[in-house]
Amino acid sequence: MRLEVRFSGFGGQGIILSAVILGRAAVMHDNKFAVQTQVYGPEARGGASMSAVIIDDSPILYPKVADPDIYVIMSQEGFEKYGAHARKDAVMLIDSTLVYSRPDCRYIEIPATREAKQTLGRDIVANIVMLGALAASTRVVSEAALEKAILDSVPKGTEALNLKAMKKGIELAAGSTPP
């Protein structure tokens, strides 16, 4: 059941934290194996950022994501650099607020940044909105495991906001219809 997930966006969007939370949900709360890797440019904030997670039922012997099954893309530059050549049978969640291109694979548009800003009042939780949408639309981890991993990972005092963001992502995924 090996699944490879690639997150991409720009530095400051929580791309690496998203992958860490997903891996934590898989390992600590869904009894799976996971490894997480990351890449970011020297600009850090604002530059292209990528993080990847492999989730499997068996121990993972090779930790590099070679051919992602699932993409979470949160910026146009992230799409161009890390998502434009997704294979046809991959699934891609796109932050439709910031990504203008569309892939050849099946994709789901989630207006994460817009909803985080307008509905939740903090665009910084757009990554958590995307995680909620990811769990709801792909079942890569259970929603219960994701919720626990979010609570384990976010700064104290932000738990309620982050759980609202996760629930907003679940809601957005339920209302979206992939092309």
Task: List average pLDDT for each run of 10 residues in the chain, which is 179 residues long.
Answer: 93 91 97 89 67 96 90 95 94 96 95 96 95 96 96 94 97 75
pLDDT at position 176 is 67
Instruction: Single out the residue of 146, 153, 145 nearest to residue 169, CA to CA.
Output: 146
Listed by start position, the domains of the chain span 3-174
pLDDT at position 21 is 97
pTM for the full model? 0.92
Question: What are the residue ranges of helices labelled H in the chain?
Answer: 15-24, 76-82, 112-118, 126-138, 143-153, 159-174
What is the architecture, at CATH level 2, of domain 3-174? Answer: 3-Layer(aba) Sandwich (3.40)
